[in-house]
Amino acid sequence: MLRKLAMLAVIVAVVGAAALWVVTIPATIPAGALVPYAPNLDNGKTMFHAGGCATCHATPNHQDKTQLGGGLGLKTPFGTFFPPNISPDRDDGIGGWSEADFVTAMWKGTSPGGRHYYPVFPYTSYQRMKMEDARDLFAYLKTLPPVKGKTREHELPFYLNIRRMVGGWKFLFLDGEPFKPDPSKSVQLNRGAYLVNAAGHCAECHSTRNFLGAIISSQRFAGGPDPEGGDGWVPNITPVGIGDYSKSDVEHILETGDLPNGDTIAGPMAAVVDNVSKLSPEDRSAIAAYLKSLPPVQGPKHP
One DSSP character per residue, 173-230 reads H---PPP---TTS-HHHHHHHHHHHTTT-GGGTSS-B-TTS-B-GGGTTS-EE-TT-T
Task: Find the helix packing angle between 268-276 and 41-50, rounded to 10°.
Answer: 160
pLDDT at 173: 96
Given a cut of 70, whether residue 22 has pLDDT beyond it is no
AA letter at 43: N
Q: In the 8-state DSSP scheme, what is residue 128?
A: T
Instruction: Give the pLDDT band of residue 2 (cuts 50, 70, 90).
Output: low
- Residue 20 is inside which H or E element, if any? helix 2-23
Q: Give the separation between CA 144 and CA 155, rounded to whole angstroms.
A: 29
pLDDT at 220: 96
pLDDT digits (tens, 9 = 90+) for 195-222: 999 999 999 999 999 999 999 999 999 9
Region 145-172: mean pLDDT is: 94
Region 137-153: mean pLDDT is: 96
| Strand partners of residue 157 | none
60 vs 15: which has the higher pLDDT: 60
CB neighbours of residue 37 within 10 Å: 12
117-131, 196-210, 228-242, 281-295, range with the lowest pLDDT = 228-242
pLDDT digits (tens, 9 = 90+) for 44-100: 999 999 999 999 999 998 888 999 999 999 999 999 999 999 999 999 999 999 999
Is this model's pTM higher than 0.85 or not? yes
C-alpha of 97 from chain center: 20
Q: What angle do CA 73, 76, 78 make, to 5 degrees?
A: 115
Q: Give the separation between CA 302 and CA 105, rounded to whole angstroms.
A: 35
228-232: long-range contacts, CB 8 A cutoff, minimum separation 24: 228/74, 228/75, 228/76, 229/75, 229/77, 232/267
pLDDT at 18: 61
SS3 255: helix
For the chain, what are the domain ranges?
Answer: 37-173, 187-293
Q: What angle do CA 190, 49, 125 make, to 5 degrees?
A: 55
Q: In the 8-state DSSP scheme, what is residue 163?
A: T
Given a cut of 80, whether residue 19 has pLDDT beyond it is no
| Residues whose CB is less than 8 angstroms from the CB of residue 266 and which lie 6 or more positions away in sequence, other chains included | none
Instruction: Give the pLDDT band of residue 13 (cuts 50, 70, 90).
Output: low
